[in-house]
């Protein structure tokens, strides 16, 4: 169902306001009036209007100044200015300043009807455009999840099954594995896909900032709170909210978050009106939350509230067979954005990439390819274009012993310290592996 | 005394026939008894010499101030050219969901547009305008249905396009608003 269009009428003459109010109310619009520009700006601070119909000549702040202020607050506001015959020049100036149109008073009923009909059409086109953009972005996000490996197929299967539900999801995985992409994929495959996907990086904000960011604030709630502001939970109404780095939030915020998740209601900072919002929570972390619960640094009740479904994204080193696909994808992506023809990658370079461990995961690989396209010759991506040598030396140890120790430990961890499987992977027998473990004093984490 | 009574008050001379026929149509459409009364206002007080028209806002307020104890909806009927400050002319206007409206026959006659007069067309237009403004007093807003009497009309040709009846949607809305 189409939403109700709202109109704000700004004119110092009572008779003009009354006439327009009656006219628009009979057409089924939501209408409010202001007798001067100052009052209009106050009304606009607390609520949004689709169309603002303002007189140019008003005592105090005139319509042109008000137009400039409205445009600085919200660039795409539709402001229609009203003017007398003698001030058409001013109306033209208003158009240059961003007014949608102007009408000369008194106007023909048909002119007013057409003007409002055109503005309404533009509003519905803008709404439709926004929705389509969101839809396109959603589809791209699914395509961004590259990988043919069994590990990645498992992730996609989990995304598919969890998307159709409303359950909270925790996505775990090392930094750079694409946790936000998975969250977007869940959202864009869910019934909430036509509503907002709101992302919050909890680790980047202080406790008070995060509180204001999540719950919003009222004007005057703290120094610098000049306007009312919607919080991310409110923005995510009917959609999904993605809380990245959830492990970094303070104990106080954990309590607040738990309360919001339980009741789906909250109040803005400095406000007393309870706001309800229907959102789905998707969280991500690279920390071991269960371990944090055991240590008492993360609330157990919140952990169980969030951890209804857990999707674990494997690090890139555990799905190296996906590297050629990813390389191909990033080459196409960056060549297109840089307006360059797609360049192939040298087989030896690709082989070296597959041998590399990528502690920074996909993000690191992406940056490498982007750099190679920027600095490369443009014909072929070769070993010389990839910063592998330097990274590998830094990545691993200075001596052969250190290298061997780190490598064996990595394979042991990969196979959960299963000696037989690790030995098989290293192509050594079990006795040799035991000797190496003893030599390098290797221990299972936590022991 | 019936409090559920609609009153049409004529200010100025009208043929009795046209008022009675319009009242009959209103009664049929809204299912309330309709009475016709004659009113007297000094229209010169509402005349705007610069525009050579009569101020519709002031007239609406004036009619609204007339207390009719036996009437719950009142429509003032005029034969002068009405305007509101922001628009060049109006056929009529009403308080949405209120008790009062006004309508003018002035711009509804074909002779006003240099054509041959037609009393039937005039009656049809007048009836539609009266039903339309009274519809607003019942709380009905403009309708997008081209045949609905609540469709907004800016020219007489628009009035000719619609019927003098409420569409199904507006009828349902009317019933939910009035319980009739």
A138 pLDDT more than 50: no
Q: Write out the H or E segment, with its range, that includes residue A410.
A: helix A400-414
Q: Which residues are within 8 A (CB) of A387 and not within 5 positions of it... i.e. 6 or more apart?
A: A368, A371
The residue of B59, B64, B85, B86 whose CB has the most chain A CBs within 10 angstroms, and thus the best one to mutate to test that interface, is: B86
A92 pLDDT more than 60: yes
B28 pLDDT more than 70: yes
What backbone torsions phi and psi does residue A175 show, to the nearest 5 degrees? Answer: -60, 135
Rg of chain B, C-alpha, whole Å: 15
Average pLDDT over residues A351-367: 86
The larger pLDDT score, comparing residue A232 to residue A375, is at: A232
The larger pLDDT score, comparing residue A76 to residue A364, is at: A364
The larger pLDDT score, comparing residue A244 to residue A340, is at: A244
As a whole number of angstroms, the distance between CA A263 and CA A369 comes to: 46
Average pLDDT over residues B168-176: 93
Indicate if the alpha-carbon torsion angle A29, A32, A35, A36 is positive or negative.
negative
- A253-306 pLDDT, tens per residue? 899 889 998 888 888 888 888 888 899 999 999 888 888 999 888 999 999 988
- DSSP secondary-structure letter at A4? P
Q: Is A176 exposed, middle or buried (0-12, 13-18, 19+ CB in 10 A)?
A: buried
Tell me what percent of the residues of chain A surpass a pLDDT of 70: 92
| Minimal C-alpha gap between B143 and chain A (Å) | 8
Average pLDDT over residues B48-77: 90
Inter-residue contact A56 to A81 (CB < 8 Å): yes
What is residue B3's predicted lDDT score, i.e. its pLDDT?
58
- The answer, yes or no, to whether the previous bond of A346 is cis (omega within 30 of 0) is no
The larger pLDDT score, comparing residue A111 to residue A171, is at: A171
Q: What is the CATH number of domain A6-136?
A: 3.40.50.2300
Cross-strand partners of B101:
B75, B94
Tell me if A6-136 shares its fold with A150-312. Answer: yes
Q: Which CATH number fits domain A150-312: 1.10.3720.10, 3.30.1330.10, 3.40.50.300, 3.90.1150.10?
A: 3.40.50.300
A65 pLDDT more than 60: yes
A98 pLDDT more than 90: no
A214 pLDDT more than 70: yes
The confidence band for A139, taking pLDDT boundaries of 50, 70 and 90, is: very low
Inter-residue contact B29 to B165 (CB < 8 Å): yes
A392 pLDDT more than 70: no
The confidence band for A350, taking pLDDT boundaries of 50, 70 and 90, is: confident
Average pLDDT over residues A379-389: 77
What is residue A136's predicted lDDT score, i.e. its pLDDT?
56
What is residue A155's predicted lDDT score, i.e. its pLDDT?
87
A171 pLDDT more than 60: yes
Residue B103: both structure tokens together: 């309508």
A147 pLDDT more than 80: no
Q: Which residues of chain B are within 8 Å of residue A112 when distances are taken between CB atoms?
A: 86-87
A38 pLDDT more than 60: yes
Residue A275: both structure tokens together: 């706001």
Average pLDDT over residues B112-134: 93
Asked if B86 and A25 come within 8 Å (Cβ–Cβ), the reply is no
CA-nearest of A70, A80, A84, A85 to A102 is A80
How high does pLDDT run on average in chain B?
Answer: 91
Q: Write out the H or E segment, with its range, that includes residue A230.
A: strand A229-230
- B77-100 pLDDT, tens per residue? 999 999 988 888 999 999 999 999
A265-267 vs A274-276, strand pairing mode = antiparallel
How high does pLDDT run on average in chain A?
Answer: 84
Residue B35: both structure tokens together: 């009475």
Fold of the A316-386 domain: Helicase, Ruva Protein; domain 3 (1.10.8)
Other CB atoms within 10 Å distance of the CB of residue A158: 19
Most confidently modeled range among A324-328, A340-344, A430-434, B102-106: B102-106
Average pLDDT over residues B119-128: 94
The larger pLDDT score, comparing residue A138 to residue B15, is at: B15
Tell me what percent of the residues of chain B surpass a pLDDT of 70: 98
Inter-residue contact A17 to A35 (CB < 8 Å): yes
| Minimal C-alpha gap between B134 and chain A (Å) | 12
Catalytic residue (one of B133, B157, B172, B173): B133
CA-nearest of B23, B9, B128, B127 to B78 is B9
- DSSP secondary-structure letter at A245? T
The DSSP secondary structure of A44-95, one letter per residue, reads HHHS--SEEEEES--SSS-HHHHHHHHHHH-TT-EEEEEE-GGGHHHHHHHH
CA-nearest of B66, B6, B69 to B40 is B66
Q: Does B64 touch chain A (CB under 8 A)?
A: no
Inter-residue contact A279 to A240 (CB < 8 Å): yes
What is residue B6's predicted lDDT score, i.e. its pLDDT?
94
The predicted complex's ipTM stands at 0.72
The confidence band for A446, taking pLDDT boundaries of 50, 70 and 90, is: low
Average pLDDT over residues B142-161: 92
What is residue B122's predicted lDDT score, i.e. its pLDDT?
94
What is the domain partition of chain A in residue ranges? 6-136, 150-312, 316-386, 399-439
> B173 catalytic, yes or no?
no
Asked if A109 and B88 come within 8 Å (Cβ–Cβ), the reply is yes
Q: Does A13 touch chain B (CB under 8 A)?
A: yes
The residue of A14, A84, A106, A120 whose CB has the most chain B CBs within 10 angstroms, and thus the best one to mutate to test that interface, is: A106
Name the residue of chain B whose CA is nearest to A29's CA. B141
What is residue A86's predicted lDDT score, i.e. its pLDDT?
56
* A240 SS3 class: strand
As a whole number of angstroms, the distance between CA B77 and CA B57 comes to: 14
B92-94 vs B100-104, strand pairing mode = antiparallel
- DSSP secondary-structure letter at B174? H
Q: Write out the H or E segment, with its range, that includes residue B8.
A: strand B6-11
* A103 SS3 class: strand
B148 pLDDT more than 90: yes
Q: Which residues of chain A are within 8 Å of residue B142 when distances are taken between CB atoms?
A: 26-28
Domain A399-439, architecture per CATH = Orthogonal Bundle (1.10)
Average pLDDT over residues A404-421: 85
Inter-residue contact A345 to A388 (CB < 8 Å): no
As a whole number of angstroms, the distance between CA A299 and CA A168 comes to: 16
A124 pLDDT more than 70: yes
Inter-residue contact B88 to A110 (CB < 8 Å): no
What is residue A390's predicted lDDT score, i.e. its pLDDT?
47
The larger pLDDT score, comparing residue B149 to residue B2, is at: B149
The larger pLDDT score, comparing residue A11 to residue B4, is at: A11
Q: Does A26 touch chain B (CB under 8 A)?
A: yes
CA-nearest of A225, A224, A243, A223 to A233 is A243
The DSSP secondary structure of B31-63, one letter per residue, reads -S-EEEEEE---GGGGEETTTTEEEHHHHHHHH
Candidate from B84, B88, B142 with C-beta closest to A26: B142
Asked if A23 and B141 come within 8 Å (Cβ–Cβ), the reply is no
């Amino acid at each position: 169902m189409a939403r109700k269009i709202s109109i704000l009428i700004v004119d110092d003459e009572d008779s003009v306001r009354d006439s327009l109010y009656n006219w628009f109310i009979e057409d089924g619009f939501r209408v409010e009036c202001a007798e001067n520009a100052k009052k209009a700006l106050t009304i606009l601070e607390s609520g949004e209007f689709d169309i603002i119909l303002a007189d140019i000549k008003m005592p105090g702040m005139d319509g042109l100044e008000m137009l400039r202020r409205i445009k600085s607050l919200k660039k795409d506001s539709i402001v229609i200015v009203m003017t007398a015959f003698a001030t058409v020049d001013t109306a033209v100036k208003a158009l240059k300043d961003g007014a949608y149109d102007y009408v000369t008073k008194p106007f023909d009923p048909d002119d007013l009807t057409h003007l409002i009909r055109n503005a309404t059409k533009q509003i519905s086109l803008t709404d439709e455009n926004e929705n389509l953009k969101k839809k396109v972005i959603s589809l791209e996000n699914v395509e961004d999840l590259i990988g043919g490996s069994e590990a990645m197929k498992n992730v996609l299967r989990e995304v598919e099954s969890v998307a159709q539900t409303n359950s909270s999801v925790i996505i775990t995985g090392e930094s750079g594995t694409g946790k936000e992409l998975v969250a977007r994929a869940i959202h864009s495959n869910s019934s909430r896909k036509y509503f907002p996907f709101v992302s919050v990086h909890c680790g980047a904000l202080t406790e008070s900032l995060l509180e204001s960011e999540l719950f919003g604030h009222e004007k005057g709630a703290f120094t610098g709170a000049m306007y009312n502001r919607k919080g991310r939970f409110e923005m995510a109404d009917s959609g999904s909210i993605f809380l990245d780095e959830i492990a970094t939030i303070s104990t106080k915020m954990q309590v607040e978050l738990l309360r919001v998740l339980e009741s789906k209601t909250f109040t803005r900072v400095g406000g007393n009106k309870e706001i309800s919002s229907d959102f789905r929570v998707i969280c991500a972390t690279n920390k071991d939350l269960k371990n944090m619960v055991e240590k008492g640094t993360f609330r157990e009740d919140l952990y169980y509230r969030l951890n209804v479904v857990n999707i674990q994204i494997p690090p890139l080193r555990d799905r190296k067979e996906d590297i050629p696909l990813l390389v191909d994808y990033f080459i196409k992506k960056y060549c297109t954005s840089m307006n360059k023809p797609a360049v192939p990658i040298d087989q030896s370079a690709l082989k070296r990439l597959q041998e590399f461990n990528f502690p920074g995961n996909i993000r690191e690989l992406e940056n490498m390819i982007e750099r190679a396209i920027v600095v490369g010759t443009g014909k072929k991506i070769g070993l010389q274009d990839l910063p592998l040598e330097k990274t590998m030396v830094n990545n691993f140890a200075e001596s052969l012993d250190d290298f061997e120790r780190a490598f064996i430990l990595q394979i042991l961890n990969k196979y959960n310290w299963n000696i037989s499987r690790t030995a098989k992977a290293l192509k050594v027998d079990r006795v040799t592996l035991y000797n190496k473990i003893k030599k390098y004093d290797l221990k299972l984490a936590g022991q | 005394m019936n409090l559920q009574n609609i009153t049409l008050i004529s200010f100025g001379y009208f043929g009795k026939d046209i008022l009675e026929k319009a009242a009959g149509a209103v009664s049929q459409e809204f299912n309330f008894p309709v009475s016709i009364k004659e009113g007297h206002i000094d229209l010169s007080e509402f005349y705007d010499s610069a525009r050579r028209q009569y101020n519709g806002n002031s007239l609406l307020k004036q009619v609204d101030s007339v207390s009719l104890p036996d009437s719950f909806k009142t429509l003032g009927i005029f034969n002068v050219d009405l305007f509101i400050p922001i628009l060049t002319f109006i056929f009529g206007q009403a308080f949405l969901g209120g008790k009062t409206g006004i309508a003018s026959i002035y711009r509804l006659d074909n002779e006003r547009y240099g054509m041959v007069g037609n009393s039937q067309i005039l009656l049809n237009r007048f009836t539609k305008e009266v039903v339309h403004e009274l519809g607003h007093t019942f709380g009905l807003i403009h309708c997008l249905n081209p045949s609905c009497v609540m469709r907004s009309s800016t020219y007489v040709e628009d009035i000719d396009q619609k019927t003098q009846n409420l569409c199904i949607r507006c009828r349902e809305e009317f019933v939910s608003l009035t319980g009739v």
